[in-house]
């Protein structure tokens, strides 16, 4: 098989919202007669695209994540997808999620062929190594790519979960701003509420990790990401309520990561920090915590799981919170967003046709009447609990969005 190898492919240096295919970071590319494979600097496959006529669309592709999940980027109808997600591509996953998409591209023959072409690639590269002439650098890369086959990549993902002592089964919705390419660092486990509706929780009670554990993770993460670390500029402080660790711990961990992971010298511009918070951890946080987040060398996004501002719904969801607290958090979120330019607090609510009418009324009240003015900060994410009634859910979403005084998007649960 004819193989074309390009060792230095320069992808985009900043994350942008564009309606054409864009790949980020420095990559290595192998093109065969039917496929284009792009690898990260460790020799792990990152992007994969069919080049033949059967491929669903020339501006669609597959991406493999650090957690070893393939994501299909569907360009569908650009404007509508942007309306729903704030992004131009609709991601499809191989794992169960709260997706509202229509078709599953992973069932397409050409997508399955592309994945199987990747599985067969090590064999093709071995043959090519024997028959063609390669420079020492090219040979070294081909040997790396051969070794990092399907089985080895699964092992690497398991290693990452082991070093973090827990896999990353949900990323904050705001990490869409960096195409979900963030380095995870767990600074706490468990959460405060153990809500009955939640699919991503662990059963642990909330517990902060020790500084020793956090430093150990960082050193192992640095080794794990190796040369490809230079393709990252973003950190996710996990897991479900990092805010509850308090300002001192968050700032310390974020700065340690900034230094040890060398974000300053990333190939990608700027640095971003993402974390989740809860109503209680947010309300007890003093202004100085937000001040110090605002001064970090990152642009910071804090996402709060509010779920509903209707008491009957909160009770149904098994979320042990009073509606007054949810409203207080929502109000404060807006204040913080006004005050700090490098920090944005966003909110998550669930949606489902089976939820009481009071929930939908509360969503409409909070997104429309709660604030006198429009602001483009303080995104409200709506997370579908299940895809039943997709069309009706999307109609209700559109009705809320048209009148909302905050940006309003859907949130599809995405893993690392």
The residue among 110 and 311 lying less far from ligand SF4, judged by its C-beta, is 311
The residue among 11 and 246 lying less far from ligand SF4, judged by its C-beta, is 246
- Interacting residue with ligand SF4 among 195, 208, 296, 385 (CB under 6 A): 195
What tokens were used for 361? 């009324």
What tokens were used for 410? 């859907």
- 308 near ligand SF4, judged by CB under 6 A: no
Contact 36, 173 (CB under 8 A): no
The residue among 201 and 325 lying less far from ligand SF4, judged by its C-beta, is 201
The residue among 24 and 276 lying less far from ligand SF4, judged by its C-beta, is 276
The bridge status of strand 35-39 relative to strand 45-50 is antiparallel
What tokens were used for 373? 């003015």
The residue among 181 and 241 lying less far from ligand SF4, judged by its C-beta, is 241
The residue among 34 and 190 lying less far from ligand SF4, judged by its C-beta, is 190
- 411 near ligand SF4, judged by CB under 6 A: no
Residue 63 main-chain phi, psi, to 5 deg: -130, 140
Distance CA 87, CA 76 (A): 12
Q: How far is the CB of 27 from ligand SF4 (least distance, A)?
A: 34
Site string for ligand SF4, 140-179 (x = CB under 6 A): ----------------------------------------
The residue among 36 and 161 lying less far from ligand SF4, judged by its C-beta, is 161
The residue among 51 and 204 lying less far from ligand SF4, judged by its C-beta, is 204
- Interacting residue with ligand SF4 among 144, 194, 222, 396 (CB under 6 A): 194
- 305 near ligand SF4, judged by CB under 6 A: yes
The bridge status of strand 35-39 relative to strand 26-31 is antiparallel
**Number of residues engaging ligand SF4 in binding (CB under 6 A):** 11
Per CB under 6 A, contacts with ligand SF4 among 262-301 are: 278
Quick one: which segment of 31-39, 192-200, 285-293, 382-390 binds ligand SF4 (CB under 6 A)? 192-200
Radius of gyration of the chain (CA): 22
Distance CA 100, CA 117 (A): 29
- 396 near ligand SF4, judged by CB under 6 A: no
- Interacting residue with ligand SF4 among 71, 191, 302, 304 (CB under 6 A): 191
- 198 near ligand SF4, judged by CB under 6 A: yes
**Selection from 170, 147, 197 nearest residue 315 by Cα:** 197
Q: What is the CB neighbour count within 10 angstroms for residue 345? A: 27
The residue among 266 and 278 lying less far from ligand SF4, judged by its C-beta, is 278
Q: How far is the CB of 376 from ligand SF4 (least distance, A)?
A: 26
- 384 near ligand SF4, judged by CB under 6 A: no
- 186 near ligand SF4, judged by CB under 6 A: no
CA distances from 364 to 86, 286, 359, 405 (A): 20, 29, 9, 10
- Interacting residue with ligand SF4 among 177, 209, 240, 406 (CB under 6 A): 240
- 325 near ligand SF4, judged by CB under 6 A: no
- Interacting residue with ligand SF4 among 23, 57, 156, 201 (CB under 6 A): 201
The residue among 198 and 410 lying less far from ligand SF4, judged by its C-beta, is 198
Quick one: which segment of 29-37, 143-151, 195-203, 242-250 binds ligand SF4 (CB under 6 A)? 195-203
The residue among 200 and 219 lying less far from ligand SF4, judged by its C-beta, is 200
- 193 near ligand SF4, judged by CB under 6 A: yes
Q: What are the residues binding ligand SF4 (CB under 6 A)?
A: 191-195, 198, 200-201, 240, 278, 305
């Amino acid at each position: 098989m004819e193989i074309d190898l390009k060792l230095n492919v320069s992808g985009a240096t900043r994350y942008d919202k564009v309606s054409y295919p864009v790949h980020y970071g420095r990559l290595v590319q192998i093109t065969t007669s039917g496929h284009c494979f792009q690898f990260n600097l460790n020799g792990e496959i990152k992007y994969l695209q069919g080049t033949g006529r059967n491929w669903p669309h020339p501006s669609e592709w597959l991406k493999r994540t650090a957690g070893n999940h393939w994501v299909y980027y569907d360009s569908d109808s650009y404007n509508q997808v942007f309306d729903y997600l704030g992004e131009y591509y609709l991601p499809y996953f191989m794992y169960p999620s709260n997706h509202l998409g229509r078709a599953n591209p992973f069932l397409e023959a050409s997508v399955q062929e592309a994945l199987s072409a990747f599985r067969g690639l090590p064999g093709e590269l071995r043959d090519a190594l024997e028959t063609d002439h390669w420079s020492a650098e090219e040979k070294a890369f081909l040997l790396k790519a051969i070794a990092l086959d399907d089985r080895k990549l699964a092992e690497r993902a398991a290693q990452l979960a082991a070093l973090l002592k827990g896999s990353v089964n949900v990323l904050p919705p705001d990490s869409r701003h960096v195409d979900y390419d963030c380095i995870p660092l767990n600074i706490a486990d468990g959460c405060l509420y153990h809500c009955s509706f939640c699919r991503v929780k662990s059963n642990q009670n909330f517990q902060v990790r020790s500084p020793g554990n956090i430093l150990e993770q960082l050193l192992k993460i640095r080794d794990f990401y190796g040369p490809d670390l230079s393709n990252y500029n973003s950190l996710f402080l996990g897991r479900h309520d990092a805010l509850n660790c308090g300002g001192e711990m968050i700032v310390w961990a974020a700065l340690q990561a900034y230094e040890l992971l060398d974000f300053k010298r990333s190939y990608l511009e700027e640095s971003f920090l993402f974390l989740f918070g809860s109503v209680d951890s947010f309300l007890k946080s003093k202004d100085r915590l937000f001040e110090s987040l605002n001064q970090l060398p990152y642009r910071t996004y804090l996402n709060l799981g509010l779920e509903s501002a209707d008491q009957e719904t909160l009770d149904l969801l098994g979320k042990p919170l009073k509606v007054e607290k949810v409203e207080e958090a929502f109000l404060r979120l807006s204040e913080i967003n006004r005050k700090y330019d490098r920090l944005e607090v966003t909110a998550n609510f669930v949606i489902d046709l089976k939820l009481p009418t009071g929930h939908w009324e509360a969503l409409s009240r909070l997104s429309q009447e709660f604030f006198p003015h429009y602001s483009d900060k303080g995104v409200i994410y709506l997370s579908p609990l299940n895809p039943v009634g997709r069309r009706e859910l999307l109609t209700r979403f559109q009705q809320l969005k048209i009148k909302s005084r905050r940006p309003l998007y859907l949130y599809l649960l995405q893993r690392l």
